[in-house]
A and B are shown apart, each in its own frame.
Chain A
Amino acid sequence: MNTSTSRQILIVVAISILLALMYNTFSPKGLPLIRTEPAKTAISDSALFNSLPPESLSALASKTDSAQWKDIKVIAPLHEKALHNPDSMKEVVRTNKEEQPFSVITLDQLQRLLKAHRGILFDARSEEDYVKGHIKGARNVPGEDPGKHFPQFVELPRDTLIIVYCNNPECHLGRSVIEFLATMEFKKMVLYDDGWDGWEKAHLPVDTTIVKF
């Protein structure tokens, strides 16, 4: 290889790096140059299982029943959806970014939650994967487009316990669903981080009935 070819390579690489950095600076979807590991906050059993008062549990259990939830057509009054002070939106987004809006749960915790019919289970994987098999009772909220079910999310009380899972700890789809719900002011969210891979590894039942919203 002669010098002018290596000079060409240098130029090509330099132009790419320059454009990439410039684009990243001005793009709204810009990434931090150094990636940091997403914080994982575990939650203790007592905090998890005592977080909901018993009376709201039965209400939630009936809510998770798909037929009932489907029939409920609540149009939330505007004042409930709106923030008290519009300027506080920035604050909400900022605090959500700093403080993680969710905690990570173990398989055991997940199973106990499911057994007790606590919360609503969301499968953040793609529809294709969901159709092939999922955890019983899970509704599909693809992490690529969590806003797809916005009208249904609006109907849910904001203190509903939301349980999300994805493929495995590397999967960003679950976090994407949680981030979306956090901007909708959902307060109680947990992520089963080992996800579908963990569920399959434990040889737990695979369900193929599609739960509709």
Chain B
Amino acid sequence: MLSNKYILAVVRIFLGSVFIVASIDKISAPDAFAASIVAYKLVPYAAVNILALVIPWLELVCGIFLIGGVYVRGSSFALSVLLTVFIVAIITALLRELKIDCGCFGKEHATPVSWMKVGEDLGLLLLSMYNLIFGPKPGHEKGETHAEETPNSVAF
């Protein structure tokens, strides 16, 4: 049941879309995202820009791969790591009582850090882990993608 390929496809397309949406704003305004990272006071100042540049592209690339069904495990793993980092960052920000913008979806959709955000990210992490564990094994990926591309032929 859990390894049902339709459920897997729905999950990874959902996850992929979320990350693509999250990345666009950050890619278009790297300075604002960098400022969000600075506000967390977790990263050495010199490293902020590199992260602000690479993280959104990682989100975009993984999102596209997930939707396309390519490199699903690699992308899921990368996103799981990212989400874990985000969750830890938000929790520490909350514990340090920092009143900052989450930076999650870029500056156009600014929302303050909250336990709600932690919950959202935990949900996404769960979906990502699910994909990582039950997703197509690297060797079988091609067959899987093929089956999903023509669902009708399988259904009939």
Q: Which residues of chain A have a CB within 8 Å of any CB of chain B? A: 1-2, 4-13, 15-17, 19-21, 23-24, 27, 29-37, 126, 144, 167, 170-172, 197
Contacts and interface: CB of A to CB of B under 8 A. Distances in A.
Interface of B: 27-32, 34-35, 38-39, 41, 45-50, 52-54, 56-58, 60-62, 65, 71, 73-75, 77-78, 99-100, 107, 110, 138-139
A31 B49 contact: yes
A17 B61 CA distance: 10
Nearest to A19: B57
Given A19-B61, A167-B99, A170-B41, 17 more contacts: A1-B77, A2-B138, A5-B73, A9-B78, A12-B58, A12-B74, A19-B60, A24-B53, A29-B28, A30-B30, A31-B30, A31-B31, A36-B45, A170-B39, A171-B35, A172-B32, A172-B38
B53 A29 contact: no
A9 B31 contact: no
Given A19-B61, A31-B34, A13 B78 contact: yes
Contacts, number: 98
Which 9 pairs across A and B sit closest by C-beta, in order of nearness? A8-B74, A4-B138, A20-B57, A16-B58, A172-B35, A35-B49, A16-B57, A9-B74, A8-B71
Contacts of A167: 99
A23 B71 contact: no
Contacts of A197: 99
- Most A-side CB within 10 Å, residue of B56, B57, B99, B110: B57
A21 B28 CA distance: 14
- How would you classify the secondary structure of chain B's contact residues: helix, strand, loop or mixed? helix
A17 B54 contact: yes
B49 A32 contact: yes
B119 to A, nearest CB: 23
A31 B56 CA distance: 14
A17 B50 CA distance: 9
Contacts of A29: 28-31
Nearest to B50: A33
Contacts of A33: 49-50, 53
A4 B139 contact: yes
A35 B48 contact: yes
Nearest to A5: B73
A24 to B, nearest CB: 5
